[in-house]
Amino acid sequence: MLKRLLTSREALLAAAIILLLAVISTRFPAFVSPQNLGNVFNDTSPLILLAIGQMIVILTKCIDLSVAANLALTGMVLAMLNVAMPGLPVPIIIAIAISLGAVLGMVNGILVWKLAIPPIVVTLGTMTIFRGLIFVISDGKWVNSHEIGEGFKAFTRAAFLGLPTMSWIAILAVLLFSIVMARTTLGRSFYAAGGNPHAATYAGIDVGRTQFWAFTISGALAGLTGYLWVSRYAVAYVDLAGGFELDVVAACVIGGVAIMGGIGTVMGAMLGALFLGVIKNALPVVDISPFWQLAISGGAIIIAVALNSQANREKGRIILKRAEHAT
Amino acid sequence: MTDRTRVIPDRLQSPLERHLKSWESLLILVAVAVFVANSFASPYFLNAWNLSDATFNFTEKAMIAFAMALLIISGEIDLSVASIIALASTAMGAAVQFGVDTPGLVLIGLGVGLICGAFNGFLVTVMGLPSIVVTIGTMSLFRGISYIVLGDQAYRGYPSDFAFFGQGYVFWVISFEFVLFAILALIHAILLHKTNFGRAVYAIGNNPTGALFSGIRVARVKFILFLLTGLMSGIAAICLTSRLGSTRPSIAFGWELEIVTMVVLGGVSILGGSGSIVGVVIAAFVMGLVTFGLGLLNVPGIVMSIVIGALLISVIALPRLWQKWRG
């Protein structure tokens, strides 16, 4: 049991992150100060939230390339709503963010479930449509910091027990979805639908509907992140979080989520996101141009997916071996 | 989800009936309708030089779309094509700084395209990784390298005879690019519809295991298709770079979406196994005419992308809705 835990994907990834931090700390000790690590975690919180949603979608053999556009569209709607109605309390704003994001996710889900259109096509399409809609509603204009209300911005800046609210939301989401994925019927059906769709169907699971819920959850998390993003950076524009969907997929793949579905954990997705977050925050510190980041993400995706396919092949054999020893 | 059932009819349709009911003839109708609508909507549309300019909207994308069509028919996809353009263009721009002349630049453009295609092909066929993730990875990797090389700079100063590929005219209003587009369309049509290789592509798309057991070297065919897609991206990079006369890392950004849309609009099944080059050629004209017409009406580019995204989803959704409605 202990051995399995230590050689697990998550443990290896955690070790890789610690090693990375150790290497950086040899030249830049300030980087690993608790306060800076807290900042890194807070910076990575949006990526963690989106990676959890993306992981659930990938579990069901789908992919959601529209998350960043969903985030940006929700963020823009909320920013414009805030300009129009400055008195709106934050809980209502968050409720609107989650519902709007969920509805956008449902659009993807319906197309995949009811019309059986391949998810990559659906989300490539909705990605551009959502981005286009931001331009249409905003007329291409920015909503700037001074136009956004103080209450709207204060939420992500408030701290609780030393950590900003955004970090707490990420931690809560990790805990909540760890429980949902391990302990609920819906959570298990995500694994079943992706692991073996035919067997899942015979077991009474509607695979299409499970995929629909996966897209809805991914959309809801993207909507929530949309509010957090605009609240934190206090700006909304058409290209907000442009290309971020690739980072989200990268975080999942690095976190050991199998792109063919059925394999992956919330913890893995979080660690994958943190791995990218540490690299992203370390680049300026170790004086490498931020232009390297895109290539590093791409390289990380390829290496991770290659490692995953090797690991999963091994895994099949090990399970058989263990079964043999048991008898 | 991807189950395809085939019903064998009692009586074969007559060839005329089959042609009239085909996707291609529907597309021709759409193309004619768009053409007529455009000529009423704008007085500038029916002008030989304007129409000639309009062809530049699709010739470069269509060159890649032909190879992409073969790749999608075989059941794979390449989302890195636009990034291959960026990398090939960057390599040519860098070579110019060392005083390489036009033939050398062409060789470099083609060579980079081939290398990128071989890299994708290696990861998919030798390593056995899923092409969607691999090419999402190489999409950021290839463009990432361009960003590392160029940052926020641009390459200029291409030799004057290099301009012919993107700006030259062969006869009156017939551009060099348009001639190249026609020749490449013909080559791909012959390759797909008249050779053993083409039949192998269809066989692999319909049933890879069956194809393998009937003696088709599946991995080799797929590898060649990735090479071909890379090569076409290299050719498109030469034309585009020559036409723009400069290289930025953001060159051809988002083209992969338009190219996939063009292929799917052309009637190629996104699940593989069916489609024709004629369809892709007509789809190229439809998309070119739509974007050109909207451009004449001063519709901004990002709003056009909504049209493209909606087009992508609806061309797949409408036939399925129609089938459902008819029971």
Per residue in A276-308, pLDDT tens?
999 888 888 888 888 888 888 889 889 888 887
Select from B1, B132, B305 the Cβ nearest to the Cβ of A128.
Answer: B305
Select from B140, B306, B313 the Cβ nearest to the Cβ of A301.
Answer: B140
The predicted pLDDT at position B9 comes to: 67
The predicted pLDDT at position A9 comes to: 78
* Top mean-pLDDT range of A116-125, A182-191, B4-13: A182-191
Q: Report pLDDT digits (tens) over B126-169.
A: 998 989 889 989 999 999 999 999 988 899 889 999 999 988 88
- The arithmetic mean of pLDDT across residues A172-184, rounded, is 96
Select from B1, B147, B306 the Cβ nearest to the Cβ of A129.
Answer: B306
Kindly report the nearest CA distance between residue A161 and chain B, in angstroms. 38
Q: What's this model's pTM, rounded to 2 decimal places? A: 0.86
Residue B177 has pLDDT above 80, yes or no: yes
Interchain pair A249, B133: CB under 8 A = yes
Residues A271/A177, Cβ–Cβ less than 8 Å: no
pLDDT bracket for residue A318 (50, 70, 90): very low
Q: Look at residues B308, B280, B283, B214 and name the one whose alpha carbon lies nearest to residue B71.
A: B280
Which of 106-165 (B) contact A at CB < 8 A?
123, 127-130, 132-134, 136-145, 147-148, 151
Phi, psi of A216 (to 5 degrees): -65, -45
How many Å apart are CA A238 and CA A241, to the nearest integer? 9
Select from B134, B302, B317 the Cβ nearest to the Cβ of A302.
Answer: B134
Residue B6 has pLDDT above 70, yes or no: no
- The arithmetic mean of pLDDT across residues B203-229, rounded, is 94
Kindly report the nearest CA distance between residue B133 and chain A, in angstroms. 7
Average pLDDT, chain B: 89
Residue A207 has pLDDT above 90, yes or no: yes
Residue B90 has pLDDT above 60, yes or no: yes
Touching check for B244 and chain A: CB below 8 Å? no
Q: Give me the domains of chain B, ranges plus CATH numbers.
A: 47-317 (1.10.3470)
Q: Look at residues B241, B249, B234, B247 and name the one whose alpha carbon lies nearest to residue B116.
A: B234
Length of chain B: 327
Residues whose CB is less than 8 angstroms from the CB of residue A108 and which lie 6 or more positions away in sequence, other chains included? A64, A66, A119, A122, A123, A126, A215, A219
Q: Which residues of B touch A127 (CB under 8 A)?
A: 257, 309
Q: Over pLDDT 90: what percentage of chain B?
A: 55
The predicted pLDDT at position A1 comes to: 61
- The arithmetic mean of pLDDT across residues A120-141, rounded, is 91
Kindly report the nearest CA distance between residue B128 and chain A, in angstroms. 8
How many Å apart are CA B178 and CA B163, to the nearest integer? 15
- The arithmetic mean of pLDDT across residues B50-60, rounded, is 87
How many Å apart are CA B86 and CA B113, to the nearest integer? 10
Q: Which residues of A touch B145 (CB under 8 A)?
A: 295
The predicted pLDDT at position A71 comes to: 96
Tokens of B324: 């459902």
Lowest mean pLDDT among A72-86, A238-252, A265-279: A238-252
Q: What angle do CA B174, B180, B181 make, to 5 degrees?
A: 90
Residue B1 has pLDDT above 70, yes or no: no
Touching check for A299 and chain B: CB below 8 Å? yes
Residue of A nearest to B151 (CA): A291
The predicted pLDDT at position B295 comes to: 84
Annotated domain spans of chain A: 37-242+258-263
Helix A90-114 and helix A119-138: axis angle, to 10°? 140
Touching check for B297 and chain A: CB below 8 Å? no
Q: Report pLDDT digits (tens) over A22-31.
A: 998 888 888 8
Kindly report the nearest CA distance between residue A208 and chain B, in angstroms. 8
Q: What angle do CA B134, B138, B141 make, to 5 degrees?
A: 145
Lowest mean pLDDT among A5-9, A48-52, B91-95: A5-9
- The arithmetic mean of pLDDT across residues A250-261, rounded, is 89
Higher pLDDT, B54 or B126: B126
Burial of B270 (0-12, 13-18, 19+ CB in 10 A): middle
Distance of CA B151 to the CA centre of its chain: 27
Residues B36/B230, Cβ–Cβ less than 8 Å: no
- With tokens 């000639």, the residue in question is B52
Select from A121, A128, A301 the Cβ nearest to the Cβ of B316.
Answer: A121
- The arithmetic mean of pLDDT across residues B67-82, rounded, is 95
Q: What angle do CA B288, B36, B173 make, to 5 degrees?
A: 55
The predicted pLDDT at position A110 comes to: 96
Q: Report pLDDT digits (tens) over B280-312.
A: 999 999 888 888 888 888 888 788 888 888 888
Q: Which residues of B touch A210 (CB under 8 A)?
A: none
Residues B171-178: contacts with CB under 8 Å, at least 24 apart: B172/B48, B173/B48, B173/B49, B173/B51, B173/B52, B174/B52, B175/B52, B175/B55, B175/B56, B175/B59, B177/B55, B177/B56, B177/B59, B177/B60, B177/B239, B177/B243, B178/B52, B178/B55, B178/B59
Kindly report the nearest CA distance between residue B135 and chain A, in angstroms. 9
Interchain pair B306, A140: CB under 8 A = no
ipTM tops the 0.90 cut = no
Residues whose CB is less than 8 angstroms from the CB of residue A275 and which lie 6 or more positions away in sequence, other chains included? A13, A16, A17, A20, A251, A254, A255, A300
Average pLDDT, chain A: 88
Residues A164-172: contacts with CB under 8 Å, at least 24 apart: A164/A42, A166/A42, A166/A45, A166/A46, A166/A228, A166/A232, A167/A38, A167/A41, A167/A42, A167/A45, A169/A45, A169/A49, A169/A224, A169/A228, A170/A41, A170/A44, A170/A45, A170/A48, A170/A49, A170/A270
pLDDT bracket for residue B230 (50, 70, 90): very high
How many other C-beta atoms are found inside a 10 Å radius of the C-beta of residue A168? Answer: 16
Q: Look at residues A204, A57, A117 and name the one whose alpha carbon lies nearest to residue B2.
A: A117
Residue B5 has pLDDT above 70, yes or no: no
Residues whose CB is less than 8 angstroms from the CB of residue A214 and which lie 6 or more positions away in sequence, other chains included? A56, A57, A59, A60, A62, A109, A190
Residues whose CB is less than 8 angstroms from the CB of residue A50 and which lie 6 or more positions away in sequence, other chains included? A67, A68, A71, A218, A221, A222, A225, A244, A248, A251
Interchain pair A127, B309: CB under 8 A = yes
The predicted pLDDT at position B297 comes to: 82
The predicted pLDDT at position A317 comes to: 45
How many Å apart are CA A72 and CA A242, to the nearest integer? 8
Select from B77, B132, B308 the Cβ nearest to the Cβ of A128.
Answer: B308
Q: Look at residues A174, A186, A256 and name the one whose alpha carbon lies nearest to residue A216.
A: A186
